[in-house]
Amino acid sequence: MTAQVTVTGLGATTPLGGDAPSTWAAMLAGESGIVSLDDDWAQELPVRIAARLRVEPTTVLDRVQARRMDRCEQVALVAAREAWADAGRPAVDPERLAVVVGTGTGGALSLLGQDDILEASGVRKVSPHTVPMLMANGPAAWISIELGAKGGAHTPVSACASGAEAIALGMDLIRLGRADVVVAGGAEACIHPLPLAGFAQAKAHSTRNDAPQEASRPFDTGRDGFVIGEGAVLLVLERAEFAAARGARAHATLAGAAVTSDAHHITAAHQDGQVRAMRRALADAGLGPLDIGHIHAHATSTPLGDLVEARSIAEAVGTHPVVTATKSMTGHLFGAAGAAGALAALLAVRDGVVPPTRNLTDPDPAVGLDVVAGGPRTVRPRAALTNSFGFGGHNASLVLTAAP
C-alpha cells in the first residue's frame, strides 16, 4: 500500500503578500505584484520591471541572523516558519523529519554582490559568510537547522520546475517510509542586473516598462515574455496516518506527482515531455483526465511557451478543465514558481474557487482552453493539476485532491 500524503501547513512570502492567506486573497482579487524598478542600476537596462516582495524578510527575521543569510535563504526561512506554525508544529522524531527546498539560482545575489566587493575592495572586505550564503542548499540547510530536521535536507535544482520537483521528492520520501513529515517547496531571489540583462538579451522577459502591472499576460495575444519575481512557498507534507493520529487539520491531499525530462533543447519547451509529466502524474494519483476539474498552468507569458503548454494540456488532459495562470500577478518566481502553483491549486480545491488570470483581455484563439479571466470563478473540482516546466527540459506535474 502506498502511504497517502496530506498537506497540513502552508507558508508563503511573495510579491502579493507576506504570508499564505494574504497571497491567496490577492490572487482571488486579481492584484499585481509587479512594479517599476527605480534603482540606479536598473535605469540603463532594457528591462526595468520586476515582481518584488510585498514584505521585506529583514523585517521579520532577527537582524544578526538575516545578515548572515542570502535573500533566497531569508525568504525560505520566513515561509517555512509560517508553514510549520500552520501545521501545528508537529511533534515528530527528528530522524523522521526531512526538508526539501528547490531553487533555480540559490544565492546568486550573494555571489554577484561579493564578487563586486572583491573586485572593488579586495579580499579582506569579502564576507566570511559568503560560501554559506551563495550555496544552493542554503535554504534547505537553514530550515533543517531551525526545525531540527535530521531526516535529510535536499535541494533539487531544476530551473523553474525546482519547487514542484521538491514537493514531488517530499512525497516520495513519505511514500518510501523514510519520513513522516517533510517541509517542501521552493525559494528564489535574484532580481539583479545580470539576470535581467540576460533574459532581455534572450528575448524572454517582457519589456513593458511603462505598464508593469500589465506586463505579464499569459495566454493573451499581446504577451511578450515573463516578469522576474522573488519569493518562497513551503508546504508541510505528512503521512496521512501520522497527521490523523495527532489530530492535524489537512488542507488537501497530494495525490500524485511526476517528473520528466525532454532531452530536446536547453531552453525550448517540448510538448512530449510535458504530456508525459501530466499523464504520469494522473496515473500516480490513480485518476483519469476527466477527474481533473482545474489546472494551474505554468504559463509564463512567453509567445511560444504558453502555446506549447496549451497544446500539451489539450493532449494529456483535454480542454474541459478550468485553467488559470497566477504568474500574471506574481511574476515568475523561478525556483519557487512550482511551489506557488501548488499553493494556488491546493487552495482552489480546498476553497472551491479559481483565481483569475490577470491581463487576459484578448485571449489567443490558438490556446483553446477555458482560462479564467476578469474575476474568480466558483468551481468544485474533484482534483487539480499544476504544471512546472524549466530551462533544460525539466517538467514536473502535481495532482491535488480535497482532504478526506
Q: What type of residue sits at position 391?
A: F
In the beta sheet, which residues pair with residue 247? none
Rounded distance between C-alpha atoms, residue 305 and residue 268, angstroms: 8
CA distances from 402 to 44, 254, 333, 382 (A): 48, 9, 26, 7
CB 404 within 8 A of CB 8: no
Catalytic residue flag (residue 298): yes
Q: Which one of the listed residues 192, 294, 332, 394 is annotated catalytic?
A: 332
Looking at 45-129, which runs of residues are DSSP E strands? 49-51, 97-102
Q: Please pick, among 72, 160, 192, 296, the residue that the annotation labels catalytic.
A: 160
265 is annotated as an active-site residue? no
Do the beta carbons of residue 349 and residue 381 sit within 8 Å?
Answer: yes
Backbone angles phi, psi at 348, to 5 degrees: -65, -40
DSSP letter assigned to residue 376? -
The single-letter code of the amino acid at 233 is: V
The two counts, helices (H) then strands (E), for the chain are 13, 15
| Catalytic residue selected from 154, 192, 205, 298 | 298
Query: CB neighbours (10 Å) of residue 272?
Result: 14
The set of catalytic residues is 160, 298, 332
